[in-house]
Structure 1
Amino acid sequence: MGQLIKLENYISRYQRDILHYPRQFIRLKQDNWKRLLDLWHNQPKQNRIEAPLEDTNRAALFDKFFGIFNKKEVIEDQPIEPLLPQNEEQLKQYFLDSLYHFQLNWSSTTLHEMSFLDRSYQEDLTLKYFLQRFPDSFLFMYQPVFKLKNATVDADIIMITPFEVNIIKLVEYPSNRTVIPGDDRTWFIEENNVRSKMLSPMLSLKRSDKIVKSILNHEGLDIPIHKIILSRTNAIDFDLEPFQTTYIDKDAHEEWLQKQRAYTSPLKHQQLKVADALLAYSDTVAVNRPEWEQGEDDEFYHS
């Protein structure tokens, strides 16, 4: 499960300690999955229900199961009787959905501060795709906002892997349309042999690439950087790809995704330094949390 280290200009737990939280999240996921799987195996089959499960039940599991670690209590001391799915595949998705909401919390709060999370992110299918389909060691900045020379600049999706940085621009339309690259300013959409113009996605992709490169160069960090045009729904009709740019359309998507999922490398120190540098130049809008909330969900920080 990819890790959401920055969402828009929200305060992020990862900004507080990039060396701690990514590794802690991986341990959290592994330990809690083992515990949940044991719970599921020991639960009578007649107590299981058909998926999809109600959000209220998932929230109950989240509060009881993950909340145990907030209070540093022992799992055996807490009676947990959530309604769990019928089969293991459904259980995995149930667990990932619970972790997804957990990640939204980490990417919008710290011990003392909070940002106001847009509710649309609760069911953002694109964000879920990146967080639920990629390895634990992949770090994501989703629609980040950078602050450079007192100006804020929106950027595309940034995926920081142990080996490289991928800057991703999604281009997705109804599946009966074909995307046809043009120049740096104008591309085309073709449907039933009729073409219409669209703004070239290379504009924002190149802007994002320039931002990332300028920050890393300033910090003396060297890591390969690639630009990706990603369309999971459309064919992309092209002859040549621009320099250091890859087009991934609906026909190439599954192979590309499986290649990413096959990476088994752990987090790298250089990767975390790159993430820390990009976070340092990110814009953040947050307010102080109410005193009665502070510290309640400071998961694992002192463990």
Structure 2
Amino acid sequence: MAQLIKIENYISRYQRDTFHYPGQFIRLKQENWRKLVQTWEYQLEQPTSDNEIEELDDNTNFSKWKSFFQRREQFDDDLLSDEQEDILPKSKTDLKQYYLDTLLPFQLKWASTTINQMSFLDRAYHDDLILKYFLQRFPDTFLLLYHPVFQLKNATLDGDIILITPVGIDIIHLVEKGTTERIVAGDDRTWYTEENNIQSRFLSPMLSLKRTEKIVRSILSASDVSFPIKKIVLSRTNNIDFFTEPYLTNYIGKEQHEEWLSERRNFVSPLKHNQLKVAEAILQYCDTAAVRRPEWDIKESDDFST
């Protein structure tokens, strides 16, 4: 499961400590997966009464998830108190999907809150199938910036989807049209869709890809960090017709998608120091809109009154 380190201009706790949270996420995700499997195996092995389930959940610390993402900050507790249902899926495959779906709200919280600040997260992200695809289909060591907004001098600029892997940066623009249409790659300004020999123009994805690449390269240069960058036009629903791919650019259409995805899913590597340096540098140039968390005001008010 890729790690969501930034959404648009929401505040992210990865901005607070880029070198701590990625490793913590991986450790605690693995730890709680083992606990969940223990609970699941216990329920499969024998009929369990409600009281026994409750006792088991207390022992594994699964139902309340207090142990999940064990915090260093005092006020993370309220974020992680959601209770889970006792009834688990019957198959291990379904259990894995159940676990991934359960993780999504926690990732969204990590990508929209810190110890003392929060952003008002659009509820639509909980049902965003594209976001879910990038989070659930890629390894834990891939760090995802989902349409980040960059703050450069006095201007804000929207970016494409960015995946920071242990070995490089993928800047991705998703192009998905009707399933009966073919995408025809054109120049840097105009591409086409084609159906029944009728072509329709649309804005080339290379425009935003090149803009995002230019931003990322300038950030890395200013931070004195070197890392490979590749641009990707991705379509999971359409074939892409082209004569040649531009330099450091891949066109991944419907026919290439499964192989491309499989290569990334099977990629095995720990988090790399240079990867985290890159993530930290990029996050420093991301725009952030956030407010003070209400519980801090309550705490200060209580302290003052005493």
TM-score norm. by structure 1 comes to 0.87
Contact 1:187-1:199 at 8 Å conserved across structures: yes
1:32 aligns with 2:32: yes
Assess, with a 3 A threshold, how the Cα gap between structure 1 residues 160 and 220 changes in structure 2: closer, same or farther: same
How many pairs align? 278
Contact 1:5-1:140 at 8 Å conserved across structures: yes
Mapping for residues 5-20 of structure 1, pairs under 5 Å: 5-20=5-20
Cα distance in structure 2, aligned partners of 1:18 and 1:44: 40
Assess, with a 3 A threshold, how the Cα gap between structure 1 residues 293 and 121 changes in structure 2: closer, same or farther: farther
Cα distance in structure 1, aligned partners of 2:17 and 2:223: 18
Assess, with a 3 A threshold, how the Cα gap between structure 1 residues 187 and 71 changes in structure 2: closer, same or farther: closer
Assess, with a 3 A threshold, how the Cα gap between structure 1 residues 255 and 291 changes in structure 2: closer, same or farther: same
SS class of match (1:64): coil
Cα distance in structure 2, aligned partners of 1:235 and 1:118: 32
Partner of 2:55: none
Q: Any gaps of 5 or more consecutive residues in structure 2?
A: 49-59, 78-82, 300-306
Assess, with a 3 A threshold, how the Cα gap between structure 1 residues 62 and 91 changes in structure 2: closer, same or farther: farther
Cα distance in structure 2, aligned partners of 1:204 and 1:4: 21
> Residue 62 of structure 1: CA displacement?
11
Larger Rg: 2
Cα distance in structure 1, aligned partners of 2:229 and 2:138: 18
Partner of 1:231: 235
Name the aligned partner's letter for residue 9 of structure 2.
Answer: N
Deviations for 1:36-62, whole angstroms, at most 9, x for unmatched residues? Answer: 0000000147879xxxxxxxxxxxx99
1:185 aligns with 2:184: no
Cα distance in structure 2, aligned partners of 1:146 and 1:237: 32
Assess, with a 3 A threshold, how the Cα gap between structure 1 residues 179 and 85 changes in structure 2: closer, same or farther: same
Cα distance in structure 2, aligned partners of 1:284 and 1:158: 17
> Residue 286 of structure 1: CA displacement?
0.2
Alignment equivalent of 1:214, drawn from 197, 214, 218: 218
SS class of match (2:65): helix
Contact 1:112-1:294 at 8 Å conserved across structures: no
> Residue 63 of structure 1: CA displacement?
8.4
Percent identical pairs in the alignment equals 58
Mapping for residues 158-197 of structure 1, pairs under 5 Å: 158-197=162-201
Partner of 2:141: 137
Partner of 2:132: 128
Alignment equivalent of 2:89, drawn from 80, 85, 90: 85
Partner of 2:209: 205
SS class of match (1:188): strand
Assess, with a 3 A threshold, how the Cα gap between structure 1 residues 190 and 294 changes in structure 2: closer, same or farther: farther
Deviations for 1:120-166, whole angstroms, at most 9, x for unmatched residues? Answer: 00011100111000000000100100000111000000000000001
SS class of match (2:126): helix
Cα distance in structure 2, aligned partners of 1:88 and 1:218: 47
SS class of match (2:295): coil
Contact 2:143-2:164 at 8 Å conserved across structures: yes
Cα distance in structure 2, aligned partners of 1:291 and 1:261: 40
Q: RMSD of the TM alignment (CA)?
A: 2.4
Contact 2:116-2:296 at 8 Å conserved across structures: no
> Residue 101 of structure 1: CA displacement?
1.1
Name the aligned partner's letter for residue 19 of structure 2.
Answer: L
Deviations for 1:195-229, whole angstroms, at most 9, x for unmatched residues? Answer: 01111111101000000000001111111100000
> Residue 291 of structure 1: CA displacement?
1.7
Name the aligned partner's letter for residue 24 of structure 2.
Answer: Q
Partner of 1:113: 117
Cα distance in structure 2, aligned partners of 1:226 and 1:132: 21
Partner of 2:63: 64
Cα distance in structure 2, aligned partners of 1:192 and 1:65: 55
Contact 1:233-1:249 at 8 Å conserved across structures: yes
Name the aligned partner's letter for residue 143 of structure 2.
Answer: L
Q: Any gaps of 5 or more consecutive residues in structure 1?
A: 49-60, 74-78, 296-303
SS class of match (1:66): coil
Partner of 1:291: 295
Cα distance in structure 2, aligned partners of 1:68 and 1:294: 25
Assess, with a 3 A threshold, how the Cα gap between structure 1 residues 39 and 210 changes in structure 2: closer, same or farther: same
Cα distance in structure 1, aligned partners of 2:264 and 2:271: 14
